[in-house]
Structure 1
Amino acid sequence: MITRFAPSPTGRLHLGHAYSAALGRSLGTRWLLRIEDLDPGRARPEFIGGILADLAWLGLAPDGAPLVQSERTARYDAALEELKARGLVYPCFCTRADIAASLTAPHGDAGSAYPGTCRDLPDDPARRASTPHSWRLDSAKALHEAGGVPGWREHDGGRFDGSAAMIGDAILARKDAPSSYHLACVVDDWESGVTLVVRGSDLRPSTPVQRLLQHLLGAPEPTYLHHRLVTHEDGRRLAKRDSAPTLLAMREAGVDGPALAAALVTGSLPTGYRLADH
C-alpha cells in the first residue's frame, strides 16, 4: 500500500496535519511526502523547512525525497495539452468579479460555481496570447466521453457513486499558476504509484472531478480514506488562517512527538481536541 502526505507550505502544520500524516504512515507500506507549492500568492519556501522539521519531530520519515510540485510543471503541462488536443478544456478569460456578477444577474445560474461564460467562445489565438486566462474542464464533453462520473471505493469498503451534479467546469490551470489542485493531484498520485489517498473529509467533494480526470487520462483508480477532521473541543475547525496551535508550539512546550503520533493513530487526541462526527 502506497500512501502520501501532501501539505501546502502556506503556514506551520497543526494537529490536524499530524493526525493525517500519522494515519497515512500507519497504513502505507511506503509513505510519500509531496509539497503542494503551486499557489504563488501563499506558498513560502521557509514553511517547507518547517514541514520537514515537524515530521522529523513526530518520528514520521517519508520513504524517499519529497516530491515538489513546483518542480513538475512540465508534467502538468503535458496532461493539459492532451486534454486540449481532445477538446475537453477551454480557455476562460473571466475574472472572479465577472463570475460573481454573472451569478447574481437574472440570467445567471445561482446553483453553479461557474456559469459557462467562455465555454462556447470561438477559439481566438491572438486573444489567448495577449490576455491572461485559465483553462477549464468542459464537463459536458468530459462526462459524455467518460460515460458519466466514475465512482470510487473508500478504505472501509464503502462505494461512492459520483453524479453529474457534482461536476462543474473546474479550473485545471490558473492564470497565475501552471496547474490547479485537481490536475496536479491526479498526475502526482498516478506517477507516484499512490494506491491509497488518505486525506480529510473536507476534500471528499474534490473526488468526483479527480476521478473523472483519472478516467480521461488513463490513470489507475486509487482507494480513498477521507478521515474525520480534528477540531477544537467546541467543534471549531483547526485552520492556519485562524492561527490554530502549531506543532512547533507543541514541540517547544516539550510534547513527545513520536508518542503523540502513536496516540493519534489510535484516535487519542490531546485534551482540548476531538475528532469531528463526520
Structure 2
Amino acid sequence: MAQHDMNVADGSGAVVRSDLNGALEAMATCQMGASAPSPTWPLMWWGDTANSLLKQRNAANTAWINRCDLSTAFLQAGDVGVAAGNLMQIDQSETTTDSATTTTLGTTLKHEITGTTTITAFNGVAGVTYHCRAGGAFTITHHATNLDILQTGANITTAADDTFDVYMRTSSTCEIINYQRASGEALVASSASVFSERFTSAAQTITPGGALVIAHGLSSIPVLVFAYLICTTAEAGYSIGDKLLVQVSATDYGSGTGLSIVPDSSNLNIRFGAQNPPFGILNKSSGTLNGATVSSWKIYFEAFS
C-alpha cells in the first residue's frame, strides 16, 4: 500500500528516485490506504481499505464517488443476466420455444417461437425485454392490460421470420414492441389519405361567357379542384371519351379563354371565358393548337376536402 502527495521534491539523485518510485507505486495501487490521500486531485483514484471501496474524486475535486467493492469483481454475477436491475442483459443464443396460450420466456433472452397455438399471454422476468422470431404462423392476441400490442392495438397473425420484442411490465403482463414483418411490408396497411372527401360532378355543357353553380356536398370548402374536358365528338385527333385536364384560369389561346373556379362551403362557382371557343387544346397527333369546339366537348369537375 502506498500514498503520495504526487509532488517530487528537490534532492539528491537517490532521494528523487525514491520519491518518484513512491509516486509511481501510489498511482499503481490507486493511492490505497485507510484514509484519503492528501492533497486530492480531480478524477484521482483511491483504494479505501477501511471501507473496502474503490473511489474516484469528482471532476470538481469536492467529493469522492464510490465506484465498486474492493473485495469482489468489478461486474458481479448479478450485474449481468436476465433480471430487472441488471446492469447489462447479455446476448444469448436463440432457443426454440413452442407457442402456448401462456408462453413462458424464462431467463433466455432470444426465442424462436414455433407452433400454431394462439398466444394470449407471456410470462417472464419483470423489467426485461425479450427478442423473439416467429417460426411460422400463429396469433398474438391483443389485450390492453395483459398483452398490449402497441403498434396496432389489435391481434397479429405472424409469418415465418417476423421479429418482435416482448417487454415484461410485470412477470405476467407485457407489451409487444418493434414488430417487423420479414417481408418488409408495413404491419398495418396505411389507409390514410391527404383528403377525406371527394366530389365528382356530372358532365356539364360548355357555354362561352356562361356560368355554372354546382353543389359539391362536401363538409368543408374544397382545397383542390380539377376540371376535365370530355370529348363527345372526335376532334383534333381525340376520340370520343378521351379526357383532358383543363388549366384553370386564362390560357394562351387568345383573350377571354379558360375558366375560373371559386369554391365555397356549398358550391363550385364556375365562369367560362367569353372567347368562343373558351378552350384551346393541342392536337393529339401533331401538337398544333386548336380551339375545342364547344359542341364536341363536355366538362366535369372533381373537388377534394
TM norm. shorter chain > 0.5: no
By percentage of residues, which structure has more strand?
A: 2
Q: TM-score, normalised by structure 1?
A: 0.21
Higher relative contact order (CA 8 A, sep 6+): 1
Point out the structure with max Rg over C-alpha: 2
Q: TM-score, normalised by structure 2?
A: 0.19
By percentage of residues, which structure has more helix?
A: 1
